[in-house]
Structure 1
Amino acid sequence: MILNKYIKGGVLLVCILLLASCSGSSGGGSDDDGGVTPPDPILPPEAALLASPAKDEECNQGNIVSVTQSRVTFQWNASANTNSYTHILKNLDTDVSTEQNTASTSITLTIARNVPYSWHVVSKSNKTTTTAKSETWKFYNAGEGVENYAPFPAELVAPAMGSTVPSPVTLSWSGSDIDNDIASYDVYLDTANPPTTLHENTTNTSINNIALNADTVYYWRVVTTDESDSNSQSQVFEFRTE
């Protein structure tokens, strides 16, 4: 009986000590965060500022390789929170784009002469999938003895590619020319791709209130002509009427 009494007393003492230990380690509203430092916020990359070739430059030549090609260096300013860049160059005559990845703020490419181009840069970070796109600049990579430059292909604005719109429809676009001598626009609109029906020749950059059939897919493009009779063709856009 005495032994059992001592055993019970010992068990009771151990329980009291364990409760006191738990209370001291977890209670009391301590402000101690265990020394864990919160992670720094992940900042998305910022858009790069383009430097050269200059915007709308008309006589860029770079280092001439041959009658048909030259090497051109593209440069831009470093953007914050960025580890690498994707340089996108588009041949505006063929509408073909090429992409190059680099950790630098410049890249040198061999490209065709006597051809209009556009280019931009996408900033990327190793810490996030968010990216940032720079402005898009156009330039003309000059050839030999060019006295007049063809206009840049018109940029189709509305209806947007693949959109569904009510009838009547308004077509709008923007045009630009290094020589600043755009004479007119030929607007082609058709249910065939590419469109071959000339809808209107105009000096404006929009055509309003075009009555079209309902629930029909249409294709359209714009041919820009300057005062020297040089011309360029836009992309073909499609849209559906409601």
Structure 2
Amino acid sequence: MNKYLYTLLTGLLIASCGGSDSSGGSSTDDVEPTPSPTAAILVFPEDNTECNTGEIVNEQESRVTFVWNASENTDSYELSLTNLNTNNTITPTVRDTELRLTLLRGVPYEWSVTSKSDFSNEEATSSTFRFFNEGFGIENYAPFPAEVISPENGINLMNNTSEVNLIWEASDLDEDIVSFEVLFGNENPPVDVVSETNDSFLNNVNVSSGNTYYWRIITKDTQSNSSISPIFEFKVL
């Protein structure tokens, strides 16, 4: 084979094995980002209601089916369920839009759903619903534990803060809340009762820089039922 023909064949071979040129090749810049999941809409158990459609197992337990609407760009759902009496939380994951669980009867619960994708680290969390699982022979329900509004839990306040307004909210299926007992101080858990009030706020509470404060609310109703909130905290820098 003469030198000219060898050189020509070699060039053709290299060209056929090489990648495409810059004008025709693909680029990672053309890849569309994976769409993020959207938040699911909760259906059942409904918010601030008594769940009385579960299957009764015994006097202590019943089975409740949690239902939510499918969300976009979602492959799985993580259900977060908290027993509001104990603050214990479970987080089972399913690929369906419902999940049946065995719950204690006569107990308040809180639940939400987080939408997840197999192709993205982004997540979306639904709103949070509270409900009472129907109890055996209960005629009047205890209030739901109070929820913090202000100061936000875990917040750092500016170092020139000398007073704060404590604000919370609470609800009761029987709508018979009569008072709130406010525990506040530097101890965790707080033990000092600083007020008993009919309002869902306590204004002009003295604080000072360099301290962390803890507070919680005991909610009482007309039937002498009560609930105690989680411990809320904030720090004054």
Pick the TM interval, shorter chain.
0.7 to 0.9
Return the match for 1:198 from 193, 202, 224.
Answer: 193
Give the corresponding residue for 2:18.
none
Structure 1 contact 61–113 (Cα < 8 Å) conserved = no
Are 1:210 and 2:202 an aligned pair? no
Residue identity matched to 1:208: N
- Structure 2 length as normaliser, TM-score? 0.85
* TM-superposed deviation, 1:225: 0.6
Give the corresponding residue for 1:130.
122
Mark the structure with the bigger radius of gyration.
Answer: 1
Comparing 32-41 with 52-61, which one deviates more in the overlay? 32-41
Give the corresponding residue for 2:78.
86
Structure 2 contact 45–51 (Cα < 8 Å) conserved = no
Are 1:174 and 2:169 an aligned pair? yes
User: Matched residues in 2 for 1:227 and 1:81: separation?
Assistant: 47
Q: Deviations over 1:197-218 (max 9, x none)?
A: 1111112221122122332222
Return the match for 2:111 from 98, 104, 119.
Answer: 119
Residue identity matched to 1:115: V
Listed as ranges, the gaps of 5+ residues in structure 2 are 16-21
* TM-superposed deviation, 1:222: 0.4
Does the C-alpha gap of structure 1 residues 196 and 81 become closer, same or farther in structure 2, counting only changes over 3 Å? same
Does the C-alpha gap of structure 1 residues 51 and 216 become closer, same or farther in structure 2, counting only changes over 3 Å? same
Give the corresponding residue for 1:222.
217
User: Matched residues in 2 for 1:109 and 1:35: separation?
Assistant: 48
User: Matched residues in 1 for 2:186 and 2:26: separation?
Assistant: 69
* TM-superposed deviation, 1:31: 7.0
Does the C-alpha gap of structure 1 residues 209 and 37 become closer, same or farther in structure 2, counting only changes over 3 Å? closer
Give the corresponding residue for 2:91.
99
Are 1:49 and 2:41 an aligned pair? yes
Structure 2 contact 51–132 (Cα < 8 Å) conserved = yes
Aligned length: 224
- Structure 1 length as normaliser, TM-score? 0.83
Residue identity matched to 1:138: R
Give the corresponding residue for 1:235.
230
User: Matched residues in 2 for 1:45 and 1:131: separation?
Assistant: 6
Residue identity matched to 1:202: T
1:153 is paired with a residue whose SS is coil
Does the C-alpha gap of structure 1 residues 42 and 197 become closer, same or farther in structure 2, counting only changes over 3 Å? same
Q: Deviations over 1:7-38 (max 9, x none)?
A: xxx99xx9xxx9xxx9xxxxxxx975679994
Residue identity matched to 2:196: N
Identity %: 40
**What do you get for the CA RMSD once the two structures are aligned?**
2.8
Listed as ranges, the gaps of 5+ residues in structure 1 are 1-9, 23-29
Residue identity matched to 1:102: V
**Which aligned runs of 4 or more in structure 1 are off by greater than 6 angstroms?**
34-37
Give the corresponding residue for 1:71.
63
